[in-house]
Copies of this chain bind each other. A is one copy, B any other.
Amino acid sequence: MKSDPAFDLSHFLPYMLNQAAEAASLGFQQVYKQRYGMLRTEWRVLFHLGRHGEMTAKAICERARIHKTKISRAVKALEDRRFLIRHEQQSDRRVELLSLTRAGAAAYADLSAIARDYDQQLAAQFSETERAILRQCLQQLADLPARARE
């Protein structure tokens, strides 16, 4: 019945990556979910605006590699909660520059501090060498298909 006894899901890289990603995301996900009722995309948009200042939705799409409809809905949700405001551009009225409100900036400060601690805690189980290799491999995996698509 086994066509290939050498192959096993538990050694299949996409599977391992998904399991690890899911497990590693869980703890922090609970924080922004319980504390601010946010979804992942909302946290990411909040993060980008907090980190990089004013941005358009388009720019966030490109940086974060998230589809524009997800961004659109996340922006709306964050706007409804008064975490960001839109600034229409008179030079091009299709474009909206987004920026965090005071409340949004406070949420960003809170969450990014927690994220940093959480990350350090996660990374603490590995040696310096392991961390370096892990990060480099992950970067490479994330980048490779994008390059292939271009």
Whether B145 contacts A26 by the Cβ 8 Å rule is yes
Q: A17-B20, A133-B130, A133-B134 are in contact. Are A116 and B4 (CB under 8 A)?
A: yes
Q: Select the stretch in A75-83, A85-93, A121-129 that faces chain B.
A: A121-129
- Other-chain residue from B2, B119, B129 in contact with A51 (beta carbon distance below 8 A): B2
Whether B51 contacts A8 by the Cβ 8 Å rule is yes
Main secondary structure of the interface of A (DSSP, over half): helix
- Other-chain residue from B6, B44, B50, B141 in contact with A122 (beta carbon distance below 8 A): B141
Whether A125 contacts B144 by the Cβ 8 Å rule is yes
How many copies of this chain does the complex contain? 2
User: In the complex, what residues of B have CB within 8 A of residue A28's CB?
Assistant: 14
Whether A135 contacts B17 by the Cβ 8 Å rule is no
Whether B13 contacts A113 by the Cβ 8 Å rule is no
- Other-chain residue from B64, B109, B133 in contact with A3 (beta carbon distance below 8 A): B109
**Assembled-state Cα–Cα distance A91/B6 (Å):** 34
Closest residue to A9 on the B side, CB-wise? B47
User: In the complex, what residues of B have CB within 8 A of residue A17's CB?
Assistant: 17, 20-21, 24-25, 138
User: In the complex, what residues of B have CB within 8 A of residue A19's CB?
Assistant: 65, 138, 142
A-B contact pairs, 22 of them (CB 8 A): A1-B100, A2-B50, A3-B108, A3-B109, A3-B113, A4-B109, A4-B116, A7-B116, A7-B119, A9-B48, A9-B51, A12-B115, A13-B122, A14-B118, A16-B139, A16-B142, A19-B65, A24-B141, A126-B140, A129-B133, A130-B137, A133-B137
